[in-house]
Amino acid sequence: MKKTYALVFAAMFAAVIAALGLVPPIPVPGSPVPITAQTLGVMLAGGLLGARLGGLSLLVFIALIISGAPVLSGMRGGIDELVGPSAGYILSWPLSAFIIGYLVEKSWKNLKMWKVILINIFGGIILVYAAGIPVTAFVLDLPLTAAAISALAYIPGDLAKALIATFIVVKMKKSNPVLSNKKKNLAA
């Protein structure tokens, strides 16, 4: 029964991230990688589902991309998305959700807003950029510094997403005893 719930939660968050893809992407001048709402879903998956299920939900999401489902912002999908300029960002999402989930789980009993903000910045921004920027530079044959400079345009939106995800995770912990019990029960 626990495995069924785990799979349902993972699939549900893959669907949430796909739904966030319905928000139109914001093009970034000088970069083929748009600003999307989907990294908000990555942060929420890790923060609400924990390491194992958060990472699993993003693996399900990547499987949907590979299958050609148009789940990425702008109704994109297919294996080409995982070898293009956005590939490093997208492929980092399972690890990002896992790391966020792991760190939130470790802080769950004494969860503070400032801790979750730092966790989301580390796992949802720094880690994603560390994978995304070099891949973008490689795919576009750009110097790493040029790719990094173009990524500066993403920081304000990503900080806003980190704050939104933090608010939701902390509020859900305080207001939803089922989520607190799920953390204990699904960890097994």
For residue 121, count other CB atoms closer than 10 A to its CB.
17
pLDDT for 188:
47
- Long-range contacts: 172-175, Cβ < 8 Å, 24+? 172/48, 173/108, 173/111
**Are the beta carbons of 118 and 162 closer than 8 angstroms?**
no
pLDDT tens sequence across 53-65:
999 999 999 999 9
Question: pLDDT tens, 162-188?
Answer: 999 999 999 988 776 545 555 554 444
Assign 32 to helix, strand or coil.
Answer: strand
Tell me the CA distances in angstroms from 111 to 40, 96, 124, 171, 173, one per residue in order: 19, 19, 18, 10, 8
Tens-place pLDDT, residues 37-53: 999 999 999 999 999 99
- pLDDT above 70 covers a percentage of the chain that reads 93
- In this predicted structure, what is the pLDDT of residue 137? 96
pLDDT in tens, 110-121: 889 999 999 999
CA distances from 15 to 38, 79, 152 (A): 11, 19, 28
Over residues 109-138, mean pLDDT: 96
Secondary structure letter of residue 1 according to DSSP: -
CB neighbours of 93 closer than 8 A, spacing ≥ 6?
39, 42, 58, 61, 62, 128
Q: What percent of the chain has pLDDT over 90?
A: 76
Hey, is 71 helix, strand or coil?
Answer: coil
